[in-house]
Structure 1
């Protein structure tokens, strides 16, 4: 390989290293374990584009920038849609699954998520949990991580909330499934909010109730 080709290869490698880092920063700060399927696909495709452009010295220097920019736009667009549409977010990224609820293992949820007992025991060990009998709740997150709440970490729980936190309002929209799980309706929710001096649902960014019947309400753009 001639010296000119070596220098060109070094220049391309440095250039696309900077470009890939910038694109990943624009995509947002998320840990590897928190990446959605879409994020992983985009990351892989961008990396492949960079490698192909670096490897082929006959290819135009900036050839890989166009598909990289397109992938960045796709990722940002789907992230925006996911923020606005819970249904899209659930379909694209999945939703948490209750693997252990009130100390009882849900084998159906494990099979549905292709999550076996070896996986369960491994994540319990990684969490420092000595035995399944010590677990009150184990929730399989869309990222594949298992969130574990051991017995004694919480007060006696409400039977109607199948999980730790039940989101009632997301981005100004009432969550009908959550109300159904509670056995309540929109009129009850509005009454509860009015008692806490919240008059407009549209101004609420996030509203939830937890297993101890405690409310959390966040107002949009509140500082």
Structure 2
């Protein structure tokens, strides 16, 4: 039967049964896991990193684990947690310094701003490279008070996953693809009524003289349409 744990046994709390040289292994493990977590988050894409930078997220994950284990487990020495904290902070400072002074490293790890909308149309060729769905794009735009793509001059997906929107002036707003759920869900393939219609895939607006059976978009070759809308200038 193991001996009962003695409260405030300083040797157990600080180093337990491990030799002091074990702290070198802890430092190596920390650097290794820092690299693993950083790589995983870099691959996972901007969608997973919203609000925080990828470096801050790695730091929080590492420090959270390092702080939690010695709180709950009596056989995890405090000195190991201290080494983890020191090494994690050193890795964080080093990688951010390198990133700040090397644009190539910064773009590989953090990514770079990507244009996803220009002049009211979705840039399908750019959008497809990002870990972001049309539904998520529209959700972010609705949260910013956007009703249709004709209001948007430029939309940029930032490295931290946030969406930056630049609108047309009120007099410059044009007809565009509606992104409110009820309007967007009124998709059709056959045009039975003349008017302006927006492609549901890229947002490009076409004017059709009815009837037209399953017309294809000149930008993306898709055939799903919804009536384009235009908000009146205030």
TM range (shorter): 0.5 to 0.7
For these two proteins, the number of residue pairs brought into alignment is: 132
Q: Does 1:130 align with 2:147?
A: yes
Deviations 1:22-74 (A, max 9, x none): xxxxxxxxxx8442223212210110111111111233233201011101001
Deviations 1:91-129 (A, max 9, x none): 111001000012221112221102221011100111111
Q: Does 1:87 align with 2:104?
A: yes
Alpha-carbon distance between aligned partners in 2 of 1:52 and 1:64, rounded to the nearest angstrom: 8
Alpha-carbon distance between aligned partners in 1 of 2:98 and 2:50, rounded to the nearest angstrom: 22
Instruction: Say if 2:119 and 2:150, in contact at 8 Å, map to a contact too.
Output: no
Q: Does 1:38 align with 2:55?
A: yes
TM-score, length of structure 2 as denominator length: 0.50
Residue 91 of structure 1: SS of its match in structure 2? helix
Alpha-carbon distance between aligned partners in 2 of 1:48 and 1:91, rounded to the nearest angstrom: 26
Residue 84 of structure 2: SS of its match in structure 1? helix
Question: Larger Rg: 1 or 2?
Answer: 2
Instruction: Say if 1:5 and 1:57, in contact at 8 Å, map to a contact too.
Output: no
More helix by share: 1
Aligned Cα RMSD in Å? 3.0
More strand by share: 1
Residue 100 of structure 2: SS of its match in structure 1? helix
Instruction: Say if 2:113 and 2:159, in contact at 8 Å, map to a contact too.
Output: yes
Select 1:49's aligned residue among 57, 66, 82. 66
Instruction: Say if 2:116 and 2:155, in contact at 8 Å, map to a contact too.
Output: yes
Q: Could you tell me which runs of 5 or more consecutive residues in structure 2 were left unpaired when the two chains were aligned.
A: 11-48, 173-234
Residue 112 of structure 1: SS of its match in structure 2? coil
Greater relative contact order (Cα < 8 A, sep 6+)? 2
Instruction: Say if 1:99 and 1:106, in contact at 8 Å, map to a contact too.
Output: yes
TM-score, length of structure 1 as denominator length: 0.53
Matching residue of 1:71: 88
Select 2:130's aligned residue among 98, 104, 113. 113
Describe how 1:192-211 pairs up with structure 2 within 5 A: none
